[in-house]
Amino acid sequence: MKGILIGSLILIAGVIVFVVTPTQKNKNMNFRQRATKLFYPVIMKVSKSTILTNVGEQQIKPVVNFYSLGTQLINGNMLDFSTLKGKKIMIVNTASDCGFTGQYEELETLYQQHKDSLVIIGVPANDFGNQEKYSNEKIAGFCKINYGVTFPLAEKGIVIKNSNQLSVYKWLSEKSQNGWNDQAPTWNFCKYIIDENGTLTHFLNSSVSPLGKECKQALRL
C-alpha cells in the first residue's frame, strides 16, 4: 500500500511538473494547452467514435462540383481545389486549446506517410468552447513549433451551420451540395474525407484517431 501511495505521488508530481513548467518542446504552449496535450490519450480512450459513410455500389455523387471550390490559406495564398484532383483529401476543423489538439501530431504523421496521395487541410475554428481564440499568425506558429505541422492550414473561419459558414463547410454539411451528408462538425477535429474524384465518402467525429484503423480504412490506406 505504501509503495502504491508513493508511486501515485510521484506520478502526480510528474504531471504537475509537465503541465506547470514549460519545456523546449512545449515552450509555446499555455497551461491549458500543456494539460490537454498530456491527457489527450485518456480523452481518446473514453470518447465514442461516430462514422458516417457513402461507400459501395450506390455511392452518391455530389450535386455541386467539389473542385469548383477553394479556400484561403493561413499564409494568405488561395488554394484552388481543382489542383487537388486525383488525390484523397481530409478536411479537419482544428483548435489550439482542445482536448483533441494532440491530433495535430497524428495528422502530420499521416500526412508525411501519404502526402503523395493524400492532402490534409486544417481549418482553425472558434466554434466550440472558445478553444481557438487566437489570430491566424499565432495559430500558424503554435502548430509549427509544437506539432511540426507542414500540411496546409486554412484561415480561421466558421464551420458550424450559420450565415457565415465557410463555403467548403456548406458543401461538406449540406446534402443539397455534397449529395448525401447533412452532418456539420459536432466538436473540434471532426474529419471529412473526399476521394480522388471529388466525392465525399466519410464523416469521422473527433474521437476517431487519424492514425487509427477506422480512419485508414476510410482512406483506403
Q: Which three cell numbers stand for residue 82?
A: 481543382
Look up 98 and say whether it is catalytic. Answer: yes
Burial of 97 (0-12, 13-18, 19+ CB in 10 A): buried
Helices of type H across the chain: 2-20, 31-46, 103-114, 136-147, 167-173, 175-178, 213-219
Among 98, 143, 190, 215, the active-site one is: 98
53 CB-near residues (< 8 Å, 6+ apart)? 201, 202, 218
- Say if residues 152 and 121 touch (Cβ distance below 8 Å): yes
CA 142 to CA 121: how far, in whole Å? 16
Q: Which positions are catalytic?
A: 98
